[in-house]
Amino acid sequence: MIIKVREKDKLELRTLVSGNADEVFEVIDKNRDYLREWLPWVDGTKSPYNTRESIGRWKKGIKDKADYTFGIFSGGNYIGNMGVHNINTFSDSAMIGYWLSPEWQGKGIMTDCVRALTNYCFSELNLNSVHIACADANKKSRAVPERLGFVQEGILQDCLKYHGVYFDEVIYGVVKRNWVKI
């Protein structure tokens, strides 16, 4: 599955296959110190084998229509991941999560990817609400839903623990009727 994001730099979201494991691991490993600040799973990703296992779980999630994980590619280069998680078919809601290799940040890539994935959630998955949760101190991550007009719906106090430190979790959301498809 491919979701086209921007033509000018061939930015797209693609479902990952086991053949992507080495490339995905290489990007994670190269950016390990940066990524681990907000992504606790990074420490458990020790080899391409771990990445292949994750890709297998992601493929199953898509098959079961329970979780959609995509690689972010620019000009054919893998640069990050994002997904639609915690899909609740009773309430037609889900959570979007994302990360981007630091050398690709500051170019509007993640904002455009979240916009495209939110469009996909409403048009293809027929969801009614989409949420994004970020640590209060993760300013870069919080800026994405704020730029796209997501509403800050709440703060869960000391809900997240990274490397022994507690952080508040800020929840952003948008509902289908308020989303302007751009």
Domains, the chain, ordered by start: 2-178 (3.40.630.30)
Burial-class residue 94 by CB neighbours within 10 Å (0-12, 13-18, 19+): buried
Q: Can you tell me the distance from the alpha carbon of 117 to that of 70, in angstroms, rounded to the nearest whole number?
A: 10
- pTM of the entire structure? 0.93
Widest CA span in the chain: 43
| Residue given tokens 């994004």 in the structure block | 132
| Residue given tokens 């490339």 in the structure block | 23
Model pLDDT, residue 9: 87
CA distances from 29 to 46, 76, 105, 112, 139 (A): 8, 19, 17, 25, 23
| Nearest by Cα to 159 from 132, 135, 140 | 135
CA distances from 101 to 24, 27, 29, 94, 163 (A): 11, 7, 11, 24, 21
CB-based contact 70:16 (threshold 8 Å): yes
CA angle, residues 18, 122, 110, in degrees to nearest 5: 55
Q: Over the chain, what is the mean pLDDT? A: 93
Model pLDDT, residue 181: 65
**pLDDT tens digits, 84-134:** 999 999 999 999 999 999 999 999 999 999 999 999 999 999 999 999 999
